[in-house]
Amino acid sequence: MPKLKGKEKNELFQYGNYCRYYGYRNPDDEDNRLKVLAERMDLFLGKDVLDIGCNIGHVTFSIARDFCAKSVVGMDIDRKLINIARKNVQYYINDSTPSSSSQPSSNHHFKDSALKNCNDLNCDNLNKSLPMQYHPIKSVGLKLSERFPYNVSFVQGNYVLESDLLLSLETSKFDIILCLSITKWFHLNWGDDGLKRAFKRMFAQLRPGGTLVVEPQPWKSYSRRKTLTETISQNYKNILLKPPMFTDYLLNEVGFANCETLSMPHNPSKGFQRPLKLYRKPKILVTSKD
């Protein structure tokens, strides 16, 4: 691929859709967010999960395989990343040598060497090594659609709807929604209105009693990306809903019942040491009366 100029490269990755994301986030080949989430395995057992901004699917695959989820859907705006993830699903489907046991795996160690050595502008080779990081497991007593890798799928699309009017068309179909390291990109590309709409869509898509898992990037990290595009630059100047205000908005405006902060996953880079927050949707929704 020809080398892109600065502006073209900025536009290519304006959504945080970096090919080497997991490589530089997890230089020690381990995603500690999974260790923290594994302490709440009960949230995922037999549940339907949506992973927003899934990139090439490292977390998506792990939740589908190791957390005994009924189904996991990974969604990303970048078609190329989604195609890589889909190729890996097909790898497992074609593989006829399943191993391991039917119990949740405690091993959340992932080899990211291929990602660290990959050029950001060329993701074509990522799918060649990723399948070796996961091994299909036997799932006794489960339907075929609930067994790994048949319980994982990927869709390409923009999670931020074009209008609030479209929110009324959403249905509750997930028990868990993962929103990991993506709020900043919603915010920069679509402003306060876009992020609020995304939060409302998450609430609408969760079943009663469901959980939203958010890993928000801190406000200070926004400034490093504020000049990626003209739209981002303008949105950055107009942002009023800062990350410390997210919890108040989600509880008092969107409708979540409570917030629980999990222990902060360790990361060699302080910029990636961010708390995971769990927002629970009420089991019984209270509707206002006229």
Q: What's the rounded Cα separation, in Å, for the pair 64 and 151?
A: 6
For 74, the enclosing helix (H) or strand (E) is strand 71-76
Instruction: Specify the pTM.
Output: 0.78
pLDDT at residue 31 in the model: 80
213 contact partners, CB below 8 Å, separation of at least 6: 37, 176, 177, 178, 179, 180, 276, 277, 278
Q: Enter the DSSP assignment of 73.
A: E
Residue with tokens 């709807």: 161
DSSP-assigned letters across all residues of 128-172:
HHGGGG------TT--GGGSTTTTEEEEE--SS-S-GGGGGG---
pLDDT at residue 125 in the model: 42
128 contact partners, CB below 8 Å, separation of at least 6: 114
**Residues 187/214, Cβ–Cβ less than 8 Å:** no
**Residues 113/28, Cβ–Cβ less than 8 Å:** no
159 contact partners, CB below 8 Å, separation of at least 6: 52, 53, 75, 77, 186, 198, 201
pLDDT at residue 282 in the model: 97
**Residues 89/55, Cβ–Cβ less than 8 Å:** no
pLDDT at residue 15 in the model: 61
pLDDT at residue 263 in the model: 79
Each residue's pLDDT tens digit in the chain (290 positions)? Answer: 444 454 545 555 566 555 654 444 444 557 888 989 999 999 999 999 999 999 989 899 999 999 999 999 999 999 999 999 999 888 877 763 444 433 333 333 333 323 333 333 344 444 443 443 444 444 556 677 778 889 999 999 999 999 999 999 999 999 999 999 999 999 999 999 999 999 999 999 999 999 999 999 999 999 988 888 999 999 999 999 999 999 999 999 999 999 999 977 566 656 567 889 999 999 987 665 44
DSSP-assigned letters across all residues of 164-227:
GGGGGG----EEEEEEES-HHHHHHHHHHHHHHHHHHHHHHHEEEEEEEEEEPPPGGGGGGGTT
pLDDT at residue 141 in the model: 60
pLDDT at residue 252 in the model: 98
